[in-house]
Chain A
Amino acid sequence: EAAVTQSPRNKVAVTGGKVTLSCNQTNNHNNMYWYRQDTGHGLRLIHYSYGAGSTEKGDIPDGYKASRPSQENFSLILELATPSQTSVYFCASGESQSQNTLYFGAGTRLSVL
Chain B
Amino acid sequence: GDQVKQSPSALSLQEGTNSALRCNFSIATTTVQWFLQNPRGSLMNLFYLVPGTKENGRLKSTFNSKESYSTLHIRDAQLEDSGTYFCAAEAPQGGRALIFGTGTTVSVSP
A103 x B45 contact (CB < 8 A): yes
* Interface set, chain A 93-113, CB cutoff 8 A to B: 94, 96, 99-104, 106-107
Task: Report the contact-size class of chain A (Cβ under 8 Å from the partner).
Answer: 20 to 34
**Chain A residues in 8 Å Cβ range of B1:** 41-42
Within 8 A of A (CB), among B43-98: 43-45, 48, 86, 88, 90-91, 94-98
Task: Give B74 Cβ to nearest chain A Cβ, in Å.
Answer: 20
User: What's the least CB distance linking B91 to chain A, in Å?
Assistant: 7
Closest to A58 in B: B97
What is the chain A residue whose CB lies nearest that of B84?
A42
A13 near B: Cβ within 8 Å?
A: no
A84 and B42 CA atoms in complex are apart in Å by 23
Contact among B42, B44, B48, B97 for A33, CB-based, below 8 A: B97
Query: Is A74's beta carbon under 8 Å from chain B?
Result: no
Smallest CB–CB gap between B41 and chain A, Å?
A: 5
B44 to chain A: closest residue by CB = A104
Taking Cβ atoms with an 8 Å cutoff, the residues of A that contact B are 31, 33, 35, 40-45, 48-50, 56, 58-59, 88, 90, 94, 96, 99-104, 106-107
In addition to A90-B43, A104-B35, A106-B41, 5 A-B residue pairs with Cβ atoms within 8 Å of each other are A42-B86, A42-B100, A43-B100, A44-B100, A88-B41
